[in-house]
Amino acid sequence: MLATAEQRVAALQQRYRLDIQAALRGAVPDSPTGFFSLLRYHLGWEEADGTPSTADGGKALRPVLSLTACELAGGDPHQALPAAAALELVHNFSLVHDDIQDRDTTRRGRATLWAVHGEPRALAAGNALRVIADRTLMGLVESGVPEDLVVDVADELTGQYLEMIEGQYLDMSFEDSDDVTVEQYLDMIGRKTGALIESAMFMGALIATSNRAKASAFGACGRALGLAFQIRDDYLGVWGDPAATGKAVGADIRRKKKSMPVVHLFENAAARDRRWLSETYARTGEIGDRDVERILDLLERLGTPRYVEQAARAQADGSWQAVAGLGLPGDAEQTIKAMAEFFVTREK
């Protein structure tokens, strides 16, 4: 019996999970000040009082994708572990800061770092995660990667997380605008979500091959996977099954998130509906139940659910097409197709 896309991705996560966790735990230091306990809390290793925790530490998709790309390109994934761990630290740096900027008080089922320790301490902890990521990446030298290649890998990661930060800036800017187009939105999520996933697969392939052309093809695959992942996330934020997502239907509408469904609605709604939407989103506070229902009805009549699903599917198809010309073994192609399928069919 053939494994489903979800099962194949779960197998990849299981294969690399312990190595990634060991690399991350080895990267975060300790000190008598207790400062690094904030990082361990955010990463799900400790509770707020410092006792060990079994909290969800996240999917670790970025490091898994990096190690997978390294292996599919013919390299030793263990050699790429410092880059994979650095990616996850950069990702978590962004989450700590995003939670502050978005005023989110829960993540992964418990209080966010800033909600527990306050904004100033959380900002410092987020900055520390980024610095530790830079230092962790230098472990590539000890794992046998040539120094000139380490410089190229470091340049890639730095450039992409700068683009990620720019994407977060654009996302916040869009919250105050009713004139964002779907094209502009795709550019934004390509930066905010796609950049690090592009970096993950680029770095893994570059470490494996030292070939920038091959690494760029893997990077293009990653960028498309990142777009597919975010578009699916946007779909689930409106129409996801509450039993799987832990959020009510229309949750992102209630919070006024300018996700892809809402951007598509603003761009294509009739003039009268658009005026009402602008007035509704301009009000202080969350959107009420009746208005959420009306927006959901507008989205259905516009065909937005299908539009969003098709947009995610187009990116998923583009992901494996990006590496189709590399002559990868059949199993490698199937692995990438499975990842793409999982990204557009996942339920949480």
147 belongs to a structural domain: yes
Query: Domain of 220: which CATH number?
Result: 1.10.600.10
User: CB within 8 A of 310, min separation 6: which ones?
Assistant: none
Cα–Cα dist 19/67, whole Å: 10
- As for how many domains the chain has, the answer is 1
**Residue 256 DSSP label:** T
270 belongs to a structural domain: yes
24 belongs to a structural domain: yes
What's the chain's average pLDDT?
A: 95
| pLDDT of 338 | 94
User: E-assigned strands of the chain?
Assistant: 106-107, 110-111
φ/ψ (deg, to 5) at 248: -70, 155
54 belongs to a structural domain: no
With beta carbons less than 8 A apart as the criterion, state whether 313 and 343 touch: no
CB half-sphere exposure, 327, CA atoms < 13 A: 0
Cα–Cα dist 118/286, whole Å: 23
| pLDDT of 337 | 93
Express each pLDDT in 329-345 by its tens digit.
Answer: 888 989 999 999 999 99
Rounded (5°) CA angle 107-112-117: 170
**Could you tell me the pLDDT band of residue 2, with boundaries at 50, 70 and 90?**
low
Express each pLDDT in 45-69 by its tens digit.
Answer: 999 999 999 888 888 999 999 999 9
53 belongs to a structural domain: no
**Residue 46 DSSP label:** B
Locate 146 and state its tokens. Answer: 């040539």
313 belongs to a structural domain: yes
Determine the 3-state secondary structure of 249 from DSSP: coil
Structural domain span for residue 123: 5-47+59-102+114-345
Determine the 3-state secondary structure of 166 from DSSP: helix
Express each pLDDT in 269-299 by its tens digit.
Answer: 999 999 999 999 999 999 999 999 999 999 9
319 belongs to a structural domain: yes
221 belongs to a structural domain: yes
Express each pLDDT in 113-165 by its tens digit.
Answer: 999 999 999 999 999 999 999 999 999 999 999 999 999 999 999 999 999 99
**Could you tell me the pLDDT band of residue 1, with boundaries at 50, 70 and 90?**
very low
Average of per-residue pLDDT across 194-210? 98
Which of 319, 328, 329, 322 has its CA nearest to residue 5? 319
| pLDDT of 308 | 98
| pLDDT of 74 | 95
Express each pLDDT in 208-251 by its tens digit.
Answer: 999 999 999 999 999 999 999 999 999 999 999 999 888 889 99
- Which of the two residues, 31 and 208, has the higher pLDDT score? 208
Q: How many CB atoms lie within 10 A of CB 131?
A: 11
- pTM for the full predicted model: 0.94
Average of per-residue pLDDT across 178-188? 96
Residue matched to tokens 């996330």 = 233
Cα–Cα dist 325/321, whole Å: 8
